[in-house]
C-alpha cells in the first residue's frame, strides 16, 4: 500500500517535518509558499516550490492564491498522481508519536463506538472526557444540546481516519480563549463515529484515494477551509471515524482575535450549510466565493 504525507509550510524544516521524513514506509510531500525559505531542504522527501506548483497548474495556482494553507491542495494532487492509496494531511507543528501511521484503518472494517444523535451534526471532542470543549467548526447553536447517551458498537469501513492531537487541541478561537486547554485524550474512547456529519480538520487526518476528488480545501473562507471540506465530503457519502491522538500539537503562534475573525463565517453559516448539504451537497457552491468554486472545478480536472 502506497502512503504519502502532505503538508504545507512557511517555516524552515521543523522538528515535526524531520520526524515525518524519517518514516520509511511513507513518502513526504511539502508544499512551499512565497514565504517559505528558498533554501528549504529535506533529507528525504519532495519539496514543491511555488515555481513548480505554477508549472503543474497555473490556473489552479492563481485561483487558490498565495500565502494561504490551501496551497496544500497541490500536495493532494501530487500524492494522487504518485498512486497513493492513503494520504495523510498534517501540519508542520504536529509532532508525531513513535507509532504514528502504524495503524492505518482506511479501507478496513473496524469496530467503533457509534454515537446516535438527532442533532444535525456530531461533535467528536465533546464525546471525550473534555466535554466542555468542542471541535473547531461545530455549530455553536448546538453546543447546549449535545447528548452522548445513545451509543452502540458497530463495524465501519472508513474513508477518513481523523486522528486526534494531544497538547493544544483543534478547538475554535472562542473555546481556546475561554479554556486555554492542554489535553491528553484517553485512548480507550477511540475509535468513534456517528450517524451525523462531524467537523474534522486537515491535520493528522488520513484520507482514502477513492474520495480525494471530493476533498478540497476551499480558499477564501478563512479557517473554515478544511471544515467545509469535511462537511461536503460527508454529504457526498464518505465514512469518517475519529481515532486516538498520534501527535503532540505544539501549536505555532496564533493571534486568537484574528483566528476568531477568520472563523466568523463558520459561526454564522455552519448550521445552515450542514442542513442544506444534507439535501444537496452541491449547494456548497452558494456559500463559496466565485474564485473558490472556480478553484474547486480546476482541482477536479485532475481526476
Q: What is the mean pLDDT of each run of 10 residues along the chain (303 residues)?
A: 96 96 97 95 95 98 97 98 98 95 97 98 98 98 97 98 96 93 96 98 97 98 97 98 94 81 96 98 98 98 97
Backbone phi and psi for residue 135, each to the nearest 5 degrees, phi listed first: -70, 140
State which residues form the domain around 283.
3-300
- Would you say 159 and 210 are in contact if contact means Cβ atoms under 8 Å apart? yes
Helix (H, G, I), strand (E, B) or coil at 142: helix
- Given this model, what pLDDT does residue 255 score? 87
Q: What pLDDT score was predicted for residue 299?
A: 98
Per-residue model confidence (pLDDT) at position 250: 75
pLDDT of residue 252: 62
pTM: 0.97
- Provide the H-helix boundaries in the chain: 15-21, 50-56, 58-64, 72-81, 173-179, 225-235, 256-279, 290-300
CA distance 146 to 141: 10
**What nine digits make up the cell of 119?**
442533532
Phi, psi for 99 (deg, rounded to 5): -100, 15
Q: Are 117 and 196 in contact (CB under 8 A)?
A: yes
- Are 94 and 11 in contact, with CB atoms under 8 Å apart? no
Residue 168 CA to residue 174 CA, distance in Å, equals 14
The pLDDT assigned to 134 comes to 98
Q: What is the DSSP code (8-state) at residue 191? A: S
Domains of the chain: total: 1
With b for 16 or more beta-carbon neighbours within 10 A and e for fewer, the 211-242 pattern comes to: bbebbbbbbbbbbbbbbbbbbbbbbbebebbb
Report the CATH number that the domain containing residue 206 is assigned in CATH: 3.90.550
Amino acid at each position: 500500500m502506497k502512503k504519502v504525507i502532505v503538508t504545507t509550510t512557511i517555516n524552515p524544516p521543523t522538528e515535526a517535518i524531520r520526524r515525518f521524513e524519517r518514516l520509511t514506509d511513507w513518502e513526504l510531500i511539502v508544499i512551499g509558499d512565497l514565504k517559505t525559505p528558498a533554501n528549504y531542504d529535506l533529507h528525504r522527501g519532495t519539496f514543491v516550490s511555488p515555481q513548480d506548483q505554477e508549472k503543474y497548474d497555473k490556473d489552479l495556482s492563481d485561483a487558490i492564491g498565495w500565502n494561504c494553507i490551501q496551497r496544500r491542495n497541490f500536495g493532494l494532487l501530487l500524492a494522487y498522481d504518485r498512486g497513493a492509496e492513503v494520504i495523510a494531511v498534517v501540519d508542520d507543528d504536529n509532532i508525531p508519536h513513535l507509532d504514528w501511521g502504524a495503524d492505518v484503518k482506511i479501507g478496513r472494517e473496524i469496530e467503533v463506538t457509534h454515537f446516535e444523535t438527532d442533532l444535525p451534526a456530531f461533535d467528536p471532542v465533546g464525546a471525550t472526557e473534555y466535554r466542555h470543549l468542542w471541535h473547531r467548526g461545530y455549530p455553536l447553536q448546538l453546543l447546549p444540546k449535545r447528548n452522548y447517551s445513545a451509543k452502540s458498537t458497530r463495524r465501519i469501513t472508513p474513508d477518513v481516519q481523523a486522528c486526534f492531537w494531544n497538547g493544544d487541541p483543534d478547538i475554535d478561537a472562542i473555546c481556546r480563549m475561554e479554556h486555554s486547554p492542554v489535553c491528553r485524550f484517553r485512548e480507550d474512547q477511540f475509535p468513534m463515529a456517528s450517524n451525523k456529519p462531524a467537523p474534522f480538520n486537515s491535520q493528522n487526518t488520513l484520507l482514502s484515494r477513492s474520495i480525494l476528488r471530493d476533498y478540497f480545501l476551499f480558499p477564501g473562507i478563512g479557517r473554515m477551509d478544511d471544515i467545509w471540506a469535511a462537511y461536503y465530503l460527508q454529504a457526498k457519502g464518505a465514512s469518517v471515524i475519529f481515532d486516538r491522538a498520534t501527535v503532540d500539537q505544539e501549536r505555532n503562534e496564533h493571534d486568537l482575535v484574528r483566528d476568531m475573525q477568520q472563523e466568523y463565517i463558520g459561526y454564522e453559516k455552519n448550521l445552515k450549510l450542514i442542513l442544506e448539504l444534507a439535501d444537496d451537497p452541491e449547494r456548497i457552491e452558494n456559500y463559496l466565493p466565485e474564485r473558490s468554486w472556480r478553484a474547486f472545478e480546476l482541482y477536479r480536472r485532475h481526476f
